Structure 1
Amino acid sequence: MRNKTVPLLVLLGLGALAFFYFRAGDGSAADAGKIEGAEVRRGPLRISVVERGNLKAADSVELKSEVAGSTTILYLIEEGTEVHAGDLLCELDTSALVDRKVQQEIKVQNALATYTKAQQSYEIQVSQNTSDIARGKRDVEFAELDLRKYMEGEKPQELQKADEDILLRTEELQRAEQSLSWSEKLAEKGFLEQTQLDADRLAKSRAEVALAQAKRAKDLLVNYTIPRREKELQAAVEESRRELDRIGLQAKARLADYDANLKTSKAKYELEESELAKLLDQIEKAHMRAPVDGMVVYAMEERGRYGGGQPIQEGTTVRERQAIITIPSEKGFLAEASLHESVIEKVIPGMDCLVTVDALGTTVPGRVQFKAVLPDQQSWWANPDLRVYRTQVEILEPSPRMRPGMSCSIEILVDDLEDVIYIPVQSVFLDGGRPVALVARNGTVEKRPIEVGQNNERWVEVRSGLEEGETVLLSLPPGVTLSPSEEGRGSGPSEEHRPGGRPDAISHGAQRSIDHSEESASAARPHAAIEGGGEASSGSAGHRARPHSDGSSR
């Protein structure tokens, strides 16, 4: 199969090369053998950038996977189906989520039980604290009452009783003394027996002893018993107050422990409940339904560095936030393309475009709406040496037959030059770092310096150095050599300076149009480096770098 394909490609390349040569001349196949090169032309020249792209809806609803991690598509509605809001479009695998949901429900129940227990323990502790504090306050109140009772009641009563005891003992002593005095007088006259006199004397001694005891008891009461009792009662009051403070502090400490346990249990319960809610939400989001009416369009396939992306279909593994389906609106279309870095500076938002839809065969006007500031990272994975910038073109006159994803050709109109001299891009060479053209004159070849201007895929403007009607060669003839630039001089020719290569500054579009015919025919025709200001690339000298497969140059 491969042996048959290679000759076919060579034949196609030769055909394209012959067609290009015929157009570079007068277009007559019969005179092709007589043409030594291309004629220098004068006239209008359109400067444009042509790139391939795809249509996309200007306004669309994109449905992405909202299931965390990776999952598999179990059901996917057919692309192109007209759906209504609420219709099921895609179902993702939720078996693992369902298992986690069951386990999470158990965790929620356990957390709820712990939280309920913590609530009840907290309420019990609050009640216990209230009782302990009330008891402490009562103890303080009782101690204060005991102190007041003693100071205002018992102490005066004890002092009064001691005074009364002394008074009674004093009166008893006086009576005993009087009785003894009468007894002695009677005894002197012989009217009283000695025994009675001794009894009266004993009674007086007893009364004196009792009075002395009463006085000592009062002294003990005043000097020791009352002060001690006062201090005991005052100490009891102070201790009860300190106990009340301790009860308050202990109550706060115990309540803080229970409060912390309550908050922790509540937070854990809310966390487990939130996790369960997330799982339920994930399971619900696994059933993707249409938010609006419209037609189903599968999302564009995302490719990795080695092109290993999977198409959107049942059984495909999708990651979180990966687009699966889009529902485009009918408000308009955009053409999206990736511009090579060599032409990105030519394109400015607002430029007019011509968009040709391949499937419809129609060309509609457009306008550049957006140009990315940074290169597309996806292209880095596909080719580390390729830098392209995402660009969007607004379709000004959309057709009802347009569908998202249709391939198209986008021609961005950079400039329309009214009356200029121009030649094919492959007629420009670098000689010593300066652009030159090989002019055929009477069988000889003249190497003539030229000043180049703008260029498109096929033609380059010549601002000076050539005249209309002259003939320029399309390839380097035998015997003609080109000098390398100062930067290109070295010990030996590098790959960048070998014949058949291209310089960096050549237009990406022009380079691609030449590559197919040139490589198929194995013709090593050097091409020039053309930039907008007519300055040549400093890294090339008459020869170009070998092109990459994607059309870019090194």
Structure 2
Amino acid sequence: MASWLRRLPWRILIAVAIIAATAVGAYQGVRRLRPAAAAADVQFFTVARRSFPVILQEKGELKAANQIDIRCELEGKATVIKLAEEGKAVKKGELLVELASDEIDEKLREAESKEILARAAAESARKELQILKDKNRNEIRKAEVKLSLARQALSKYQEGDAVQSEQEKQLAVDEARYVLKRAEQSLKDSEDLFAEGFVTRIDVDNDRATVYQNGIKLKNAELALQVLKKYTIPMDLQQKQSDVEDADKELACKEKEAQASEEKLAAELTAKQGDHKLAEDKLKKMVEQKAKTKILAPADGLVVYFKEDWWDESQIIKSGAQVHEQQILIQLPDTTSMKVQFRVPEAKAERLKLDLPAVVRIEGLSGRQFTARVSKIAVLADSRFSWLNPNLKEYQTEVLLDGTFSDLKPGLTAGVEIKLTDLNDVLAVPVQAVFGKGRKYYVFVPEGQTAKPVEVKIGLSSTEYVEIKEGLKGKERIHLAVSDEMKLALPEDSGEDKADQWSKTPSSATQPAGATQPASATQPASRPATQPALGR
């Protein structure tokens, strides 16, 4: 027989194998669908009223509820040269990451040199300003003394010298007038005596000459007094007043010059002090940057390399990798408190409430389940996957596990079950019996040797059943599976863009969050209750 098989063409053998595998798969699928049903009824379901819970099932990632993000705080880009091993438990103060510091060391040396020069320049400017202030004070003091002396000289002249000179000239006039009067009396006496013959003509002439001389002296004295009053005193007084004004102006000029020169040097000092402060800040910054090349653990924790997108392995840091400022490098989770983070479709998200109880099962920990509560529901839809399916809107959600833990580690895949509500005594059919096309849903009712599609309005669904709100009355028999020929009987969705109709069909409630495969007319409508549930 083996030789007979070897003589068959290989194409025939392959075709037989494919047909056999298809038949076995179909048989096994039917058995799983209704293992207890009779062979004649395995393709049908009788519509009936039933009660069932609406449970949201999603898969997500186990994470620490509280964690510390370790960021790169160096400016620009840096190279990782040392890195703590992922999964290692570290203590506070232990080295997590060391970054290359060659460039920073060079900048630090340059900053130190600039700070020294700037400090010396600022100190020199401060001393120059102090010297200028001392010099200006000395010049102003001299000008003040000069002004004071000029004022005293003016007062001395007005109250002393001028009065004294006038009195001396007046005294000279009075003396000359008195001498002249005596000479005139003496001349008169001589003339009387000459008439009586007691004196000679010569004596009379001598007395007459004396009178003439004294008259001239009186005129000179009167002229000197007149010149003193009219010219000398006013001129000297004007000069003294001018000296006072000049000294006063000189003092004001010295004060202004001092102010201007001091303000100039003060501005230069301020500028150089500013340069020093900048250089000092730059040095301080470089010292801080140098310190930041070694990132130490701020608290005890478990080392987890940060990766924003789970599919992008290039985001994980490693030795030799380039990192940039504010990039998260490592996370130190507190594994005593854990949460599961997952995404929920838009329709289901509206049913979620904070503090709803949940059950969590972690892959790899078979036989264990954990109680939890909804702790966070995002306000806005997650847009990171919108490029895959613009119509898919999912909301980041978190459940917080009850209790504290010592054996759980972040990063594990976890399944979450959240009971949204209970449906009691409602018409329901199996999920696989509902077929979606566009925005409408159908079940197939037997009609002779074939089946006809009946439009239904659906409500909420569980992983097994979907509520039928309109279209069926109960006790109808419907197909659980139909042939491709039967599916061709599904009507076209009028007004619906064919290119768009498949993308608007809801996706399965049992799919992991992030699934984007839509239902079509050639496959059972997966997750049929999500969009209609919005109206409940």
Corresponding pairs, count: 513
Task: Evaluate the alpha carbon distance shift between residue 486 and residue 314 of structure 1 in structure 2; reply closer, same or farther with a 3 A threshold.
Answer: same
2:465 and 2:258 mapped to 1: Cα distance? 94
| TM-score, normalization by structure 1 | 0.81
User: How many angstroms does 1:46 deviate by?
Assistant: 3.0
> Aligned match of 2:500 in 486, 496, 500?
496
**Matched-pair contact (CA < 8 Å) for 2:343–2:514:** no
Residue 406 of structure 2 corresponds to which residue in structure 1? 400
Q: Give how far 1:132 is off.
A: 2.7
Measure the CA separation in 2 of the matches of 1:379 and 1:517.
15
Closer, same or farther: CA 95–452 of 1 in aligned 2, 3 Å: same
Superposition map of 1:134-533 within 5 A: 134-184=141-191, 189=197, 191-192=199-200, 194=202, 198-299=205-306, 301-303=307-309, 307=312, 309-361=314-366, 362-379=368-385, 387-397=393-403, 399-429=405-435, 434-440=440-446, 443-457=449-463, 459-464=465-470, 465-468=472-475, 470-475=477-482, 478=485, 481-488=489-496, 494-497=498-501, 501=502, 503-507=504-508, 509=510, 524-525=522-523, 527=525, 530-531=528-529
Deviation at 1:57, TM superposition (A): 1.3
2:369 is paired with a residue of what secondary structure?
A: strand
One-letter identity of the residue aligned with 2:361: T
The alpha-carbon deviation at position 510 of structure 1 amounts to 5.1
Could you tell me whether the CA contact under 8 Å between 2:457 and 2:468 is conserved in 1?
Answer: yes
Alignment RMSD (CA, Å): 3.7
What SS class does the counterpart of residue 282 from structure 1 fall into?
helix
1:215 to 1:22, Cα distance in 2 relative to 1, 3 A: farther
Q: CA 1:129/1:340 → structure 2, altered by over 3 Å: closer, same or farther?
A: farther
Aligned identity (percent) is 26
Assess, with a 3 A threshold, how the Cα gap between structure 1 residues 135 and 429 changes in structure 2: closer, same or farther: same
TM-score by length of 2: 0.84
Aligned to 2:244, what secondary structure does the other structure show? helix
Which of 113, 119, 125 in structure 2 is aligned with 1:106? 113
Q: For structure 2, list consecutive stretches of 5 or more residues without a partner in the other structure.
A: 1-18
- Cα deviations across residues 37-84 of structure 1 (Å, max 9, x unaligned)? 455465443322322211111222332211122211110111222222
Work out whether residues 40 and 468 of structure 1, in 8 Å CA contact, stay in contact via their aligned partners in 2.
Answer: yes
Distance in 2 (alpha carbons) for counterparts of 1:17 and 1:293: 55
Alignment CA distance shift 1:509-1:78 (3 Å): same
Shift of 1:438: 1.1
User: The residue matched to 2:56 in structure 1 has which SS?
Assistant: strand
User: What is the deviation of 1:254?
Assistant: 2.1
Using the TM superposition, name which of 405-414 and 235-244 deviates more.
235-244
How far, CA to CA, are the matches of 1:105 and 1:142 in structure 2?
A: 56
Distance 1:13 1:102 in 2: 76
Whether the aligned pair in 2 keeps the contact of 1:72 and 1:92 (CA below 8 Å) is: yes
Shift of 1:112: 0.5
Describe the shift of the 1:169–1:416 C-alpha distance in structure 2 as closer, same or farther (beyond 3 A): same
225 and 512 in structure 1: CA distance in 2 versus 1, 3 angstrom threshold: closer
Give secondary structure in 1 for the equivalent of 2:60. strand
Q: CA, structure 1 residues 377+34, in 2 after alignment: closer, same or farther (shift >3 Å)?
A: closer
Shift of 1:113: 1.2
The change in CA–CA distance for 1:531 and 1:384 in structure 2 (over 3 A counts) is: closer
Describe the superposition over 1:380-405 as per-residue Cα deviations: whole angstroms up to 9, x where unpaired.
Answer: 57876654322111011455321012
Structure 1's unaligned 5+ residue stretches are 1-9, 538-554
Structure 2 counterpart of 1:118, from 125, 150, 158: 125
Contact 2:71 2:330 in 1 (8 A): yes
1:39/1:472 contact within 8 Å kept: no
Contact kept in structure 2, 1:13 and 1:517, CA below 8 Å: no
